[in-house]
Structure 1
Amino acid sequence: MLEVEAKFAVPDPGEVRARLTQQGVRMARRQQERDIYYNAPHRDFGETDEALRVRYDDTGVTVTYKGPKIRVGSAKAREEFNLSVASGETLETILSRTGFLRAAMVSKVREFYEIGDVTVTLDDVEGLGTFIEIEILTEAGGEDAARRIGAIAKDLGVEGPPIYTSYLEMLLGSSPSD
């Protein structure tokens, strides 16, 4: 599965909510997420631009692998695999015992909005501020998805350059060369 997304800083999330409401889009859910990131013992995910995350949220626990980011128009894309697990604590113990190192934690409150096959989230990220992410999961190439994401951002009045760094990279103060 290919995740194609664009992220933007949002100084006033109320304006985005108002535009969503004007378009007849209602919040699907709001949840707290706590993401624990791990680094591999055999390669540095910061250098390879990969991510291994254990996410705790209102629905359970998910482990996610994300491949390196690639630019697709004004969006970014990356391969993503998700797996629900029964116990995050057990998974974290397994990762630790097999040499994976806990790298950082990202905590955020997310509001989810669905526009067909597009997911829009308003994220209040602890230590960073408020952002909007517009995302499409696709099996096909990402060019069409990137164009659609750009059109939705414009419709929602989102301005400013897209942010290509992840919340983890922002918190760690690093930025990959792309």
Structure 2
Amino acid sequence: MRTPLPAESQVDPSPLRPSRPMQPTEPSTPATGIEIEQKYRLENPAEIERLLGQIGARPQPHERHADTYYRHPARDFAQTREALRIRRVIVGDQGQTLVTYKGPLWAGAIKTRPELEWRIDPCDPDGANMAELLGHLGFVQTLTVAKTRRPFAFQHAGRSLHVTLDDAGPLGHFSEIETLARGSDEFAACHEAILAIAAMLGLSEAEPRSYLTMALIAAGAGSTDVSD
């Protein structure tokens, strides 16, 4: 029998409850490793989508995300620049749930950090068991950020990258360009690839704040930069 969590830690996954588990497809984000990404604010998402088609980026199915973030019971993620979330993804009538840990950021203009991510469905299709476990361990839910995402896959200079068009509701429209590095010797090439694609798309207004930070500010919960 599942013991209810305290109210502040409960998660309502019903808005994104799929009718069946998502089958394996081309991932919209890189696998576990060293994540390197840059986010840009968009004024004209349709134009960026047109340019993505021109440069040969391969569109992937639309996704709906509900990202629930957690506070650590013994350290301040805002200070350590870490993040822990449960992500619920819906594509059509299929869904998957993932747990993501993002480690501290390395210095630099482009976000570079270790990332661990794994699926917890089909055994825990809506993440309720994981949410309960985190609650028992003292983690407290911060908030849930909802967005729709149109991912694109792209190859540049022999490197696989992913570009997204994100509609984060009242927070605005954004594009994330990201890739995966296997070690620090690849950082420079990854940064160059991201900046090259941004130039192809005419993107210049980088948004350094995380979705979580922007959502906390919008909710009047402070302005401390929190990683996502």
For residue 57 of structure 1, report the CA deviation from its aligned partner. 0.4
TM, length-normalised to structure 1? 0.93
Secondary structure, in 3 states, of the residue corresponding to 1:43?
Answer: coil
Q: Show CA shifts across 1:30-62 (max 9, x none).
A: 100000000111111122111000000024110
Partner of 1:68: 104
Deviation for aligned residue 1:176: 3.5
> Cα RMSD over matched residues?
1.5
* Larger CA Rg, structure 1 vs 2: 2
Tell me, which stretches of 5 or more residues in structure 1 are unaligned?
A: none
User: 5+ unaligned residues in a row in structure 2: which ranges?
Assistant: 1-32, 218-222
Match of 1:81 among 107, 113, 116: 116
Q: Which has the larger share of strand?
A: 1
User: Which string of whole-angstrom CA distances, capped at 9 and with x for unpartnered residues, describes residues 117-169 of structure 1?
Assistant: 10000100132010000000111222210111001000011122x22221001
Between the aligned partners of 1:24 and 1:16, the Cα distance in structure 2 is 12
Q: 1:166 aligns with which of 175, 195, 210?
A: 210
**1:97 is aligned to 2:136:** yes
| Pick aligned residue for 2:154 from 112, 115, 123 | 115
Contact 1:28 1:112 in 2 (8 A): yes
How far apart, CA to CA, are the structure 2 residues paired with 1:81 and 1:171? 23
Q: TM-score, structure 2 length as denominator?
A: 0.73
In 2, distance between residues paired with 1:175 and 1:140? 30
Number of equivalences? 175
C-alpha contact 2:70 2:142 (8 A) present in aligned 1: yes
Secondary structure of the equivalent of 1:7?
Answer: strand
Q: CA deviation at 1:9?
A: 0.2
User: 2:48 is matched with which residue: 3, 6, 16?
Assistant: 16
Report percent identity of matched pairs. Answer: 35
Rounded Cα–Cα distance in structure 2 between residues aligned with 1:112 and 1:22: 15
Structure of higher RCO (CA pairs closer than 8 Å, 6+ residues apart): 1
- The Cα shift of 1:175 comes to 4.4
Name the CA distance, whole Å, in 2 between partners of 1:42 and 1:79.
21
Task: Indicate if the aligned counterparts of 1:165 and 1:175 stay in contact, CA closer than 8 A.
Answer: no
